Structure 1
Amino acid sequence: MQEINSINILEKFSLFEKLWTPHIIGELNGQYIKLCKLKNDFVWHSHKEEDEMFVVINGTLIMDIKDGKTISTRSGEILIMPKGEEHRPWTNGEEVMVMLIEPKTTQYTGELKVPQTVEKLEWI
């Protein structure tokens, strides 16, 4: 049986510095709960089979969507990205802290393999 403990999100954020590299802090019903620090631009990508949920803990996450729409999501807000939707997250130069909730099968940059692709996620 899994040990039950509360998780201090800000304490977990203090355990890593690397940007655009999610760290797993828990799992729930086949979903990973991940924390990630973001700054500046990321790559266009999509997730063919999985929806993603972005919970902005601190800062403003900006998301470009391939249809030309741009969405700003601020601290305390969430953004749900439907599966198959091509998107590009970025920030306005500030470091943004987000929690990601997505299926364990979600590949970080979808089927796209680029230098920013993280193949093996670490638990913290």
Structure 2
Amino acid sequence: MNHNPINFSEKLSKFNQHWSPKVIAEMNDYQFKLVKIQGDFVWHQHQETDEVFIVLDGEMVIAFRDGEVKLSAGEMYVIPKGVEHKPYAEKECKIMIVEPRGVVNTGEIQNDRTAENDVWI
């Protein structure tokens, strides 16, 4: 058993690419993923699960078809399953996503923003 804490800054320093979630821990069947985001993502939804965005550094917006939510460092938002959304960050934003193992970042859509799953750092 590993008795060392997981340091977000140290883990975030290991990659530079945007929109490419990296797994840092698991709890039961849930994964904790760090992601750097910048610019627009794609409209998508997750039919089978809720998704939580926790902003560690920077600011982001999550757009919905009927509005949006703005998040800053130290804030979080839970998107209910089946709700279409599109994350956006004008400047680089560092976030943590918590979701079940195997969830594809673009939901049902496959495109150039679809990241490889289960990449650990």
Q: Could you say which residue in structure 2 is the equivalent of 1:99?
A: 96
Task: Please state whether the residue corresponding to 1:95 is helix, strand or coil.
Answer: strand
Give the 4+ runs in structure 1 shifted more than 4 A. Answer: none
Task: Please state whether the residue corresponding to 1:40 is helix, strand or coil.
Answer: strand
1:3-22 to structure 2, matched below 5 A, reads: 3-22=2-21
Percent pairwise identity: 38
Q: What letter is aligned with 1:65?
A: F
Distance 1:80 1:104 in 2: 17
Structure 1 residue 3, shift from structure 2 partner: 2.4
Return the match for 2:82 from 78, 81, 84: 84
Q: What letter is aligned with 1:86?
A: E
Q: Could you say which residue in structure 1 is the equivalent of 2:58?
A: 59
TM-score (norm 2): 0.95
Distance 2:4 2:53 in 1: 23
Q: What letter is aligned with 1:101?
A: V
Going by fraction, where is strand more abundant, 1 or 2?
Answer: 2
Alignment deviations for residues 68-104 of structure 1 (CA, whole Å, 9 cap, x no partner) = 2111011000010110000000012x10000011111
Aligned positions, number: 121
Retained in 1: the 8 A contact 2:104–2:117?
no
Q: What letter is aligned with 1:83?
A: K
- Taking only aligned residues, the RMSD between alpha carbons, in angstroms, comes to 1.0
Structure 1 residue 61, shift from structure 2 partner: 1.3
Alignment deviations for residues 12-53 of structure 1 (CA, whole Å, 9 cap, x no partner) = 000000000000000012100000000010000000001111
Distance 2:117 2:75 in 1: 28
Unaligned runs of 5+ in 1: none
TM-score (norm 1): 0.93
